Structure 1
Amino acid sequence: MEHGWSQERLVHEIERYARQRRLDVASTPSLRVYVSEWENGRRPIGPLYASVLRALLGLTDRELLDRTTSVGSVVAGYDELVDRIDSSHNLSLGMVDTFMAQTELLRTVDRQMGAPALVDQMQAHLAALEESLTFAVLPSTREPIARALAGAATLGAWQALDVGATERAWRHYELGKRAAAEAKEPMYLAHAMAEQAYVLSSAGKPDLAVQLAQEAHRTVGGKASPRLLAWLHAAEAELLAQAGRPDDCRRSLDRAAGALPSGDTDRDPDMLSIFLNGNHLTRWRGNVLARLGDDNAMNDLYAALAGMDATFTRARAGLHCDLAQAHLAREERDQAVNHLRQARLLANRTGSTRHRARVDRLGADF
């Protein structure tokens, strides 16, 4: 068997690969039969298993699908390895820019239309970046690819969290953290850590989530851009609210306001994953105050709604949830129902499992 694997080991590797990528493969007993029949040439290899075996064994389509060639008979593929190394070594900065542009396109579509339609595209995009990084040799080649991978993996993780795929989200955040560390980009690392804290909070670990967000602060130290620093403080404030620590939460909101640069610009030139300006922070503060049951949330939320970019469809769904929660705290049921109706419509449009679940929780009070 290629790689010196037994049939049982190959079955195990297929199952592990499938779990990581949420692929639907046959049961263990059936896989044992398939592997045996593949080796003996009695069963053709279908497209799903061909893609898995290509990744696991480094086999080409011709080697896999040729009826005269068994899975275990392929010679060591040094020529193919050298080709891949050469391709990654010659990867131009223009190609890295292409990867970044694709991430940006996926970010824009996600913001307006939601994450469910992008699962396959994001998986393919991350796989291409991982492939390029795997066969890059020198730091001068690896670091730009790793930086691109860090940004893409964090976006993929947030999309996975939005559709309820929490384990996939966690794995993508781990991938983003490893890539950020290799790229020597502490800002990307801190951003991935702070977003990963949301997975912990959603999983019922709010105190651990706060600790991870605070560790993100320590990780980036004094190397954070002002906009990222404001974002980290705001994220920590939200997590503190979820952990039931209102005083600490309000202090973090004040720090976020103090760190945020003035002006309408929302994109951080030093880190394209960050969108934050005064209007965004007002919306975020309203969200946090609504979670605390603070009556001051209302003014912030309506101000944010008036100034919100119409293309931020999913964010608008969240804002209507916040307004519903704020009205419920004031026992203004008619207004709450109206905002819940709009939130549900937008959440259904984007396919956001996270927002639909929140709408259901708030609606349970009626």
Structure 2
Amino acid sequence: MLTVASTASLRVYVSEWENGRRPISARYAKILRGLLGITNDELTGKPETLPAPATADGYDELMDRIDAARSVSLTMVKTFMDQTELLRTMDRQMGAVSLVDQMTAHLATLEDALTFAVLPETRRPVARALAGAATLAAWQALDVGAVERAWRNYELGKRAAQEADAPMYLAHATAEQAYVLCDAGRAPMAVQLIREAQRLGGKAMSPRLAAWLYAAEAEICARAGMPDDCRRALESAVRCLPPGADARDPDMLSIFLNEGHLTRWRGSTLALLGDDEAVANLYVALDTSDPTFVRASAGLRCDLAQAHLARGEYDKAHEHLCQARLIASRTGSVRHRRRVEQLTQQL
């Protein structure tokens, strides 16, 4: 059991922390990082100090690290990717706010491995693993409201994808980065960026990733007030999506998209347009949704609320917003809580 100060003392501590009169101890820093979903640097406002080199000139330590990086084999890269997959699963079910420390440490390990890897045959697999991890970390940061960290992690993911010569990873990171612009109220610029993502992926993209990109383009076009472009993109997503129930893209593990997911995405996008067809699509998605996608269910409830609001069905909208608020609070999703509040103002 973790012991903390009394409520009265904590009020004093918070005031002193905010005014810089008291340093945040390691114990309280750990608690606050988990509650707020921020990194240690964001909490303290300054980077952690690096240890001094073991030798005066630093060559011995540098060579030790380069030699250690040479031992990064395909097996070790698989371990990195397995760790990313575990963090992705935990994020999907629990939310990102409790994973900040683990994600930060994972990225640091991958960046370190890439920094000291010398030859291309070692660097490329590590860079690919870093591209996937950085893109996941960016989406998690966006979810907890750390938008600058999200942007920087997307840039890291894009650089890593370029070094890995992995156009699918580059396209995916670029497309997700468009959501940062969209959430910031720059939807027209976001449309341009997601179309650039499609160009970057080119012919190297899998059909499932191509469908995902078109669906994302449709959503962002809807938010940009471009209904005709939105509908064309939705039609392209349907054409590209491979048949069958499988949702996972074996060439791009961060992509989950099958007919059921696309039905939900279509309903969400049509709800943004105020299209009456959205409600039917969204209830189909609600009935068939994967229960392990806990955080995503908050978004689905928000979509249903938006669709009902467009039809003037305020009681049903309120019901779904209450559910969305509970899920967003449980997963710590600042992004979903913000949307809940925006929709609540329309009731």
Confirm whether residue 179 of structure 1 aligns to residue 160 of structure 2: yes
Whether the aligned pair in 1 keeps the contact of 2:53 and 2:61 (CA below 8 Å) is no
1:53 aligns with 50
Matches within 5 A, 1:1-366: 21-25=41-45, 51-54=48-51, 59=53, 75-366=56-347
Deviation (angstroms), 1:247: 0.6
2:9 aligns with none
- What is the alpha-carbon distance in structure 1 between the residues aligned to residue 314 and residue 213 of structure 2? 34
Structure 1: stretches of 5+ with no match in the other structure: 1-18, 27-48, 61-73
- What is the alpha-carbon distance in structure 2 between the residues aligned to residue 110 and residue 59 of structure 1? 36
Deviation (angstroms), 1:53: 2.3
Whether the aligned pair in 2 keeps the contact of 1:20 and 1:168 (CA below 8 Å) is no
Deviation (angstroms), 1:25: 4.8
Q: SS of the residue aligned with 1:76?
A: coil
Deviation (angstroms), 1:77: 1.3
- What is the alpha-carbon distance in structure 1 between the residues aligned to residue 139 and residue 53 of structure 2? 33
| Letter paired with 1:132 | A
The structure 1 segments of at least 4 consecutive aligned residues displaced by more than 3 Å after TM superposition are none
Deviation (angstroms), 1:312: 0.5
- What is the alpha-carbon distance in structure 2 between the residues aligned to residue 162 and residue 116 of structure 1? 8
Deviation (angstroms), 1:354: 0.5
Give the TM-score of the pair, scaled to structure 1. Answer: 0.83
- What is the alpha-carbon distance in structure 2 between the residues aligned to residue 168 and residue 114 of structure 1? 17
Q: SS of the residue aligned with 1:273?
A: strand
Give the TM-score of the pair, scaled to structure 2. Answer: 0.87
- What is the alpha-carbon distance in structure 2 between the residues aligned to residue 300 and residue 310 of structure 1? 18
2:19 aligns with none
Percent of aligned pairs with the same amino acid: 66
Deviation (angstroms), 1:365: 1.8
Deviation (angstroms), 1:23: 4.8
Deviation (angstroms), 1:59: 2.8
Q: SS of the residue aligned with 2:44?
A: coil
Deviations 1:262-306 (A, max 9, x none): 001000001111111110000000100001000000111000001
- What is the alpha-carbon distance in structure 2 between the residues aligned to residue 291 and residue 260 of structure 1? 22
Whether the aligned pair in 2 keeps the contact of 1:316 and 1:346 (CA below 8 Å) is yes
- What is the alpha-carbon distance in structure 2 between the residues aligned to residue 216 and residue 25 of structure 1? 33
Q: Tell me which structure has the larger Cα radius of gyration.
A: 1
| Letter paired with 2:53 | L
Deviation (angstroms), 1:22: 2.0
| Letter paired with 1:22 | E
